[in-house]
Structure 1
Amino acid sequence: MKKQLALLLLFLAGPLAAQQLVPPRFQGSDAQRFMARLLGEAEKIVIEKEVPAEDLSPRVAVRFRVDTAGTVTDWRFLDNTCEGADRREVEPASEATRSLLTEALSRLEPWTPATEAGRPVPYTWRLTMRLPVEKIAAAQDPDPLLFEGQDPDKSFFEWARIRIRYDQRYEGRGEGVVHVRFWVEPDGRITIDRVLRTPDEKLAREVVRVIRNSRGKWTPRKVRGVAQRTAYVLRINFT
């Protein structure tokens, strides 16, 4: 009896295994290969059409169907405004990003369709990918703004922090962030734009004093070799 039951189970398992769904393949590989090719084509289009990096969304989610012919259909962008299975915790893609990826998709080869029981069947993908926005920005802007020859997000912050006088003169004036926007002019001079936020005016004046003293230490950002007026924001947290 046990032997007969085992044979019956094997007989039932055979057809079930044969009907297992096999996902579609892209160039003989999986969805990771598809995303790599899609982003590669997108980078080419950025160069061809000079799409500004600042117009692109860094994270994008999409949904699409690979039909029984291997063609991508029902291409749709997903974000945090979608509901149900389509909801993804990403901001809505910019118009430039939507146009870029849709054109990149049109340049790709078809998929090998999914199969079930040996027959082609449609298959839906939901994928989230990162656009190489920083890489694109670096390629478009090879001469960035520098402070003492380095990235100002590190070098200028440290330079300013140790020169700000925060002692008994400022006691009782509150704690919080002083947030100042200024311009580095093409000749390296400093122009204060405005204080965006401060817990106290005297603290703001101290930060502005230090910013002004940084003149001559900046290397302006350049575009095609021409120095540009560039905005910069310094945030100092007084605690």
Structure 2
Amino acid sequence: MKNFVLIILGLVLSINVFAQNDKENVFVIVEDMPVYPGGEEALRNDIATLVKYPVVAKENGIQGKVYVSFVVNKEGKIEGAKIARGVDPSLDKEALRVMNALDKTWKPGKQKGVAVKVSYTVPINFALDKEAAKEEKTSHGEGVNQVFFIVEDMPEFPGGDEALRKHIADSLDYPEIARKNGIAGKVYVSFVIEKDGSVGDAKIARGVDPSLDKEALRVIKNLPLWKPGKQRGEPVRVQYTVPINFALN
């Protein structure tokens, strides 16, 4: 019996907001997003199968969430995998190894009917035992206030993930003060989908600049109602994390 548990959260939705077109033509939002064979659940399962908890991390009680970003190229292969947010060299290295070891070919993303490169960010959470994993899943309070990360029926944005990405991109306004001062970067926003489908407890998990952070929070707080998540048939509170990348050329 392995004495660790690996929790892979749903794919984080990366939203790029460009003042100009990206010179390298790597998109984050396209009309037809890349699709992993079998979907996101198959991707999570394949990653979990490949991961080996580093011995040095296990012995030293090191755990945490590693964010890995990568590009699905025009041929449906993963390239340019890198650590967007690391925890420890051993965990970071293992997360990168696993992403580079995925050999299945994705259905590539398309923009205006043409295959293009598309960027993704995947959070991989390393936890040392099942009890730790259980603690994390309901770590924000108890009883009616429990907040889950993974549930049997995950919350759904009206129209799905692609509609969520488009809604966020359409709603965002690059702050003028940030534009004038050349401020760019990726803002991580965490929030809770409440039992009634509303967005609550939105906060900056990792900020860049007050102007960018404020705009990211504004958009997330004004998201429309979701279909709430359910555990054992009952609506529950579920947490999400969305990275929004503000980029200037």
Q: Same fold (TM over 0.5)?
A: no
> With structure 1 as the length reference, what TM-score do the two structures score?
0.42
> With structure 2 as the length reference, what TM-score do the two structures score?
0.40
Higher strand share: 2
Rg comparison, structure with higher value: 1
Point out which structure has higher relative CO (alpha carbons under 8 A, 6+ apart): 2
